[in-house]
Amino acid sequence: MIPDDRPALSVVVPAFDEAEVLPVLAGRLRPVLDALVADGLGGYEVLVVDDGSADATPVVLARLRRDWPQLRVVRLRTNSGHQAALSAGLARARGRTGVVTMDADLQDPPEVLPRLLAAAEEGHDVVYAVRRDRSVDSPAKRLTAAAFYRLVRALGGRAPEQAGDFRFTTRVVVDTVLQLPEAHRVLRLVIPDLGFTSTTVGYVREARGAGRTKYPLARMLRLSLDAITGSSTAPLRLATFFGLGGAVLTSLLLLYAIVSFVAGRTVPGWTSTLAVVAGVGTLQLLCLGVLGEYVGRLYVQLQNRPTYLVASDSLEESRQTRT
């Protein structure tokens, strides 16, 4: 039999232009993981997914790898986004028992990791790290996040309160997620839908270690749209309701116009006409927009283009040099 050289745990860390913070992350994450190994953890790998960084991230990672053999670097060809980078990491993670995903910027403190694993050992398939205190995030960020989750939940999504992408998932969960054909999966919303047992561990959200957020408003909006269209078809129904409501209103107006015509009264002015044209036009645009959202997803899904392309994987390179 081929000896199983897979480590027990994979820690997947997507990183985009995080050259400044990665050495600090390594300095804090490594002792935590080494201590876990000393406590009996059957080995680990830290899989940093370099999401097509344009700064010194590849150089910094190569330097860190020199004296940290458990560090593995997967580089994507282009900047594909946080969720795609996470998917790339999950697809390549070798962890036998499971995978921890966390941000590179130290907002997810590495010291929480042992508590995630301890909770998993009690028999849970998914352990979410939930933010007990988010005072370091700007009020605008907290407000938009709260509104987003309220909307997702109203639409029938199951998003755990205050959980981002800092979590432990067992191997079974990872394999299940990887089987989903969805192109734009928002992991934090997909995982709760799979019906695995889960629990939460609280932590205090820290400020970014260095650098600045890679989630400007435009990216947040894109994530929200992916999340909403991904977790529900309710907006599609909303469009139908709007359409029906509009149709009722237009019929009434038409009836009124006919009655006025028959009674010999002309419909006065074009203000009302304009209002109808504008109103119907707006509704149509709105419905078309919602439809377009889904059609766009169908299109992307049919294209079946990969959401990420791996440029290199340090694990494969080191295997090649060995043979």
Residues in contact with Mg ion by the rule CB under 5 A: 103, 105, 107
Whole-number minimum distance, CB 128 to ligand UDP, in Å? 16
Residues present in the chain in total: 323
Which residue lies nearer to ligand UDP by CB, 216 or 268?
216
Give 80-131 as a DSSP string. Answer: --HHHHHHHHHHH---SSEEEE--TTSSS-GGGHHHHHHHHHTT-SEEEEEE
- Which partner in ligand UDP, Mg ion, none is near 108 (CB below 5 to 8 A by kind)? none
Q: Of 9, 83, 76, 98, give the one whose Cα is nearest residue 46.
A: 9
Whole-number minimum distance, CB 232 to ligand UDP, in Å? 23
Say how far apart CA 107 and CA 28 lie, in whole Å.
12
3: which 2 tokens? 């000896």
- Which partner in ligand UDP, Mg ion, none is near 81 (CB below 5 to 8 A by kind)? ligand UDP
Which residue lies nearer to Mg ion by CB, 81 or 95?
81
- Which partner in ligand UDP, Mg ion, none is near 65 (CB below 5 to 8 A by kind)? none
Q: Which residues, including other chains, have CB under 8 Å from residue 233's CB and lie 6 or more apart?
A: 294
Whole-number minimum distance, CB 318 to Mg ion, in Å? 30
Residue ranges in contact with ligand UDP by CB under 6 A: 14-16, 18, 51, 79, 81-82, 85, 103-105, 107, 213-215
Which residue lies nearer to ligand UDP by CB, 52 or 98?
52
Which residue lies nearer to ligand UDP by CB, 144 or 250?
144
Residue-wise burial string across 37-56, b where 16 or more C-beta atoms lie within 10 A, e elsewhere: eeeebebbbbbbbbbbbeee
Which residue lies nearer to Mg ion by CB, 55 or 175?
55
- Which partner in ligand UDP, Mg ion, none is near 294 (CB below 5 to 8 A by kind)? none
Whole-number minimum distance, CB 107 to Mg ion, in Å? 4
- Which partner in Mg ion, ligand UDP, none is near 82 (CB below 5 to 8 A by kind)? ligand UDP
Whole-number minimum distance, CB 103 to ligand UDP, in Å? 4
Strand ranges inside 103-215, DSSP E: 126-133, 163-170, 198-204
- Which partner in Mg ion, ligand UDP, none is near 215 (CB below 5 to 8 A by kind)? ligand UDP
Whole-number minimum distance, CB 106 to Mg ion, in Å? 8
* Angle subtended at Cα 157 by Cα 221 and Cα 283, rounded to the nearest 5 degrees: 55
Which residue lies nearer to ligand UDP by CB, 82 or 167?
82
Strands 310-313 and 71-76: antiparallel
The span from the first CA to the last CA of the chain, in angstroms, equals 19
Whole-number minimum distance, CB 190 to ligand UDP, in Å? 17
Q: Of 321, 319, 315, give the one whose Cα is nearest residue 91.
A: 315
Which residue lies nearer to Mg ion by CB, 45 or 103?
103
